[in-house]
């Protein structure tokens, strides 16, 4: 009997992408891991240029406000015959539960509208948007979804809990996907057991507070005051300031209103996922950012690892001076690399389905 012929397929079209609000490259890094050709990242903060371009192949960094960005600059990145992807994460502090001020007065509130403007003007094949879950409660989000549907996009969105997808931090994010090629869906959870803090950073060299690993200049941590050093010595894994002797408890926590913040001044637990990385993850008093057993807050490198960045990802040029607050902002604001990779793989599977044509 002759062997049946195997089905053959055309190679799916290359996916060209532009990453808006790219920061230091978390989303771009994840998309590239999934096989997407990211051509350009757009970001207003010049400090992000080195990290973005140094670690992400041929992707170019355009220092520009998305408010001023013209559609033509994006179109020029998309080659004829390739699938086009416009992706991004508009700054989310405006929509975060940590920000209870008058959000409509914040100029960043309009940035999802600018994202929508560029979708309308460019009409990419696929759109990806990531943000905080509370964005879904704002009219600006429902209006964006309505507009994309009116433009002919199939739209799906989901609030994802990072541990359910194998990401090492207890973080919830909004993920939206839209496509003109056909129906597209944000994947359902993929992991029953997420990575733990131990699995992610347990092999890194030990550090004293305020010191730097001589072999990795990003593995450095903030110094602690004598009072906070005494406090962390009394802190338990997964615990909080409630574990301390009364003499060490801050006055604000002794008040009734202060008792609603049990997560600050806490240590992580070795055998659980990390907490959500904020832009101030390097500070012991800013959340549950104490190392599980060493008397210090987590290092800049450890925070980057929890955000999914490879251990050799470089955020500063050789010899550049450290600025812990700027590095914390760049890393804490990043789209987790694993999230970008999940989005990228979903898009690649979608393209294979709708652009892979049987002979």
CATH numeric code, 197-332:
3.90.120.10
Maximum Cα–Cα distance across the chain: 86
* 325 CB-near residues (< 8 Å, 6+ apart): 280
Q: Can you give the pLDDT at residue 359?
A: 30
- The residues carrying an active-site annotation are 92
Q: Please, what is the angle between helix 139-150 and helix 111-122, to 10°?
A: 0
Per-residue pLDDT at 9 exceeds 60: no
Q: CATH 3.90.120.10 region(s) of the chain?
A: 197-332
Per-residue pLDDT at 106 exceeds 80: no
Q: What is the rounded average pLDDT for all residues in the chain?
A: 88
Q: Closest Cα to residue 267, out of 241, 230, 245, 249?
A: 241
Three-state SS sequence of 263-322: CCCCECCCCCCEECCCCCCCCHHHCCCECCCCCCECCHHHHHHHCCCCCCCCCCCCCCCC
pLDDT in tens, 258-310: 455 566 789 999 999 999 999 999 999 898 999 999 999 999 999 999 999 99
Distance CA 24, CA 53 (A): 9
User: Percentage of residues in the chain with pLDDT exceeding 90?
Assistant: 75
Please name the fold of domain 15-193+336-353.
Rossmann fold (3.40.50)
Q: What is the mean pLDDT of residues 168-189?
A: 95
DSSP 95: G
Distance CA 256, CA 26 (A): 39
Distance CA 173, CA 64 (A): 25
For the whole model, what pTM was predicted?
A: 0.88
Q: CATH 3.40.50.150 region(s) of the chain?
A: 15-193+336-353
Per-residue pLDDT at 75 exceeds 50: yes
Q: Closest Cα to residue 154, out of 163, 145, 162?
A: 145
Distance CA 302, CA 158 (A): 28
């Amino acid at each position: 009997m002759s062997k049946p012929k195997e089905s053959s397929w055309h190679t799916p079209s290359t996916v060209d992408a532009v990453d808006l609000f790219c920061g230091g490259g978390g989303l771009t890094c994840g998309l590239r891991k999934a096989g997407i050709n990211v051509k350009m990242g757009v970001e207003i903060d010049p400090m992000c240029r080195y990290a973005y371009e140094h670690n992400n192949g041929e992707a170019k960094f355009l220092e520009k406000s998305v408010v001023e960005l013209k559609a033509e600059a994006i179109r020029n990145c998309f080659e004829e015959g390739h699938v086009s992807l416009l992706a991004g994460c508009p700054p989310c502090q405006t929509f975060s539960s940590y920000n209870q001020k008058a959000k409509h007065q914040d100029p960043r509130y309009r940035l999802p509208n600018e994202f929508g403007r560029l979708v309308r003007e460019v009409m990419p094949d696929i759109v990806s948007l990531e943000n905080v879950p509370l964005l879904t409660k704002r009219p600006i989000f429902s209006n964006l979804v309505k507009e994309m549907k009116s433009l002919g996009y199939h739209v799906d969105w989901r609030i994802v809990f990072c541990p359910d997808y194998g990401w090492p931090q207890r973080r919830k994010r909004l993920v939206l996907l839209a496509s003109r090629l056909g129906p597209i869906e944000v994947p359902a959870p993929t992991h029953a057991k997420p990575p733990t803090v131990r699995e992610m950073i347990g092999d890194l060299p030990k550090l004293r507070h305020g010191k730097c690993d001589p072999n990795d200049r990003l593995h450095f941590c903030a110094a602690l005051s004598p009072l906070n050093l005494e406090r962390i010595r009394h802190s338990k894994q997964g615990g909080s300031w409630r574990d301390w002797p009364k003499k060490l408890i801050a006055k604000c926590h002794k008040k009734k209103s202060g008792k609603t913040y049990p997560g600050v001044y806490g240590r992580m637990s070795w055998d659980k996922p990390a907490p959500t990385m904020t832009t101030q993850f390097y500070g012991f008093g800013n959340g549950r950012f104490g190392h599980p057993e060493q008397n210090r807050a987590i290092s800049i490198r450890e925070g980057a690892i929890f955000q999914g960045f490879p251990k050799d990802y470089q955020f500063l040029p050789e010899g550049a001076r450290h600025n812990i607050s700027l590095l914390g902002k760049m890393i804490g604001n990043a789209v987790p690399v694993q999230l970008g990779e999940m989005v990228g793989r979903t898009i690649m599977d979608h393209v294979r389905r709708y652009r892979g044509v049987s002979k």
